[in-house]
């Protein structure tokens, strides 16, 4: 049984309870982060902590924990649950007022709820999908307009994932006004020659922590980076395609809406980026 963290306490997972009035439960009034663990160490904790703070600022939410303490909680959960490879899920909600109300509760009397738990994933960095590549479908992006805030409103991405599964595919790329925004739970990229193309930052996509690192490594490896919109047709015509996220790192995409990308198999640029990312991030893990 896992040990989880809830509002200052380490508890067995079946003893951690949250109120039915919690605004995360009633209104999806909550934000989250997922940090991966390799070799028992945290990957890019700093990036995730910064984005967490930004999500809270955007929603006028007060942090229930100092960032130094947050690092310690992550590390303690890794230790207690003996995680070598896996993820740590963190969620903060606006807390549980006495009753349901659209008005935000007074932060002086209603404390945020903070929950962290581990997900043990032996072999995370050695995923067979990295050799096989993912098949994706495209689907209209019907999420709200502030996708840059990492909220727990994951119903539409979950529906998109189910639509992909129903067609025997692995994931969905969402499309708005004819351009790809991002994957259901990852940022989307195409490769043309020596150029990596991925959508520019804005309110339309999540500012991936993995994205920032991968683009930095790509530039250091003398690849060209273009941050701009692209269409599904352009992606189908690309040499390679891939996605990034904290839990999948760099993952090749080999098919989009039944059309093979490039050779229809993971290509050399994606393989190289994945290797650089994993090497560099393992070295910098804390
Ligand atoms: N976009 C969306 C919609 C996501 O859910 C995620 C993963 N949480 C990402 C992008 C990738 O972000 P990160 O690299 O920070 O995990």
pLDDT of residue 89: 98
pLDDT of residue 64: 95
Number of structural domains in the chain: 2
The CB of 246 under 6 Å from ligand 1? The reply is yes
The CB of 181 under 6 Å from ligand 1? The reply is no
| Statement to judge: residues 136 and 154 lie in one domain | yes
Instruction: Please state the pTM of the whole predicted model.
Output: 0.97
CA 52/CA 157 separation, integer angstroms: 20
Q: Which domain holds residue 27?
A: 3-123
Contacts of 161 by beta carbon, 8 Å cutoff, 6+ apart: 171, 172, 184, 185
The CB of 186 under 6 Å from ligand 1? The reply is yes
| Statement to judge: residues 160 and 279 lie in one domain | yes
Active site residue ranges: 150
pLDDT of residue 232: 98
pLDDT of residue 20: 98
Ligand 1 atom with minimal separation from the 147 CA: 3
| Statement to judge: residues 143 and 202 lie in one domain | yes
Tokens of 142: 């019907």
| Statement to judge: residues 11 and 144 lie in one domain | no
pLDDT of residue 181: 98
Secondary structure (H, E, C), 211-252: HHHHHHHHHHCCCEEEECCCCHHHHHCCCEEEEEECCCEEEE
Domain-terminating residue out of 123, 155, 180: 123
The CB of 118 under 6 Å from ligand 1? The reply is no
Nearest to 164, CA basis, from 180, 184, 142, 188: 184
Ligand 1 atom with minimal separation from the 211 CA: 14
Q: What is the mean pLDDT of residues 134-154?
A: 98
Going by pLDDT thresholds of 50, 70 and 90, the confidence category of residue 152 is: very high
Q: What is the CATH number of the domain that holds 75?
A: 3.30.470.10
| Statement to judge: residues 92 and 139 lie in one domain | no
The CB of 91 under 6 Å from ligand 1? The reply is no
Ligand 1 pocket test target in 243, 246, 247, 249 with most atoms within 8 Å of CB: 246
Going by pLDDT thresholds of 50, 70 and 90, the confidence category of residue 111 is: very high
Ligand 1 atom with minimal separation from the 48 CA: 15
């Amino acid at each position: 049984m896992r040990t989880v963290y809830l509002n200052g306490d380490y508890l067995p997972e079946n003893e951690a309870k949250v109120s039915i009035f919690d605004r995360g439960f009633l209104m999806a009034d909550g934000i989250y982060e997922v940090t991966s663990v390799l070799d028992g160490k945290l990957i890019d904790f700093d990036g995730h902590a910064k984005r967490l703070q930004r999500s809270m600022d955007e929603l006028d939410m007060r942090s229930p924990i100092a960032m130094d303490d947050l690092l310690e909680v992550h590390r303690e959960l890794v230790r207690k649950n003996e995680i070598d490879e896996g993820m740590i899920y963190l969620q903060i909600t606006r807390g549980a007022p006495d009753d349901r109300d659209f008005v935000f509760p007074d932060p002086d009397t209603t404390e945020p709820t903070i929950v962290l738990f581990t997900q043990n994933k032996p072999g995370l960095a050695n995923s067979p999908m990295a050799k096989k590549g993912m098949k994706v479908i495209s689907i209209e992006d019907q999420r709200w307009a502030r996708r840059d805030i990492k909220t727990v409103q994951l119903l539409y991405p979950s529906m998109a994932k189910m639509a992909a599964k129903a067609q025997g595919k692995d994931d969905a790329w969402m499309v708005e006004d004819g351009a790809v925004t991002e994957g259901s739970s990852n940022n989307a990229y195409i490769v043309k020659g020596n150029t990596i193309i991925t959508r520019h930052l804005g309110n339309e996509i999540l500012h991936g922590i993995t994205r920032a690192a991968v683009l930095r490594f790509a530039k250091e490896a003398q690849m060209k980076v273009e941050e701009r919109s692209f269409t599904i047709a352009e992606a189908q015509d690309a040499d390679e395609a891939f996605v990034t996220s904290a839990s999948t790192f760099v993952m090749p995409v080999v098919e989009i809406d039944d059309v093979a990308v490039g050779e229809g198999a993971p290509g050399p640029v994606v393989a190289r980026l994945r290797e650089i990312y994993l090497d560099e991030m393992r070295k910098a893990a804390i």
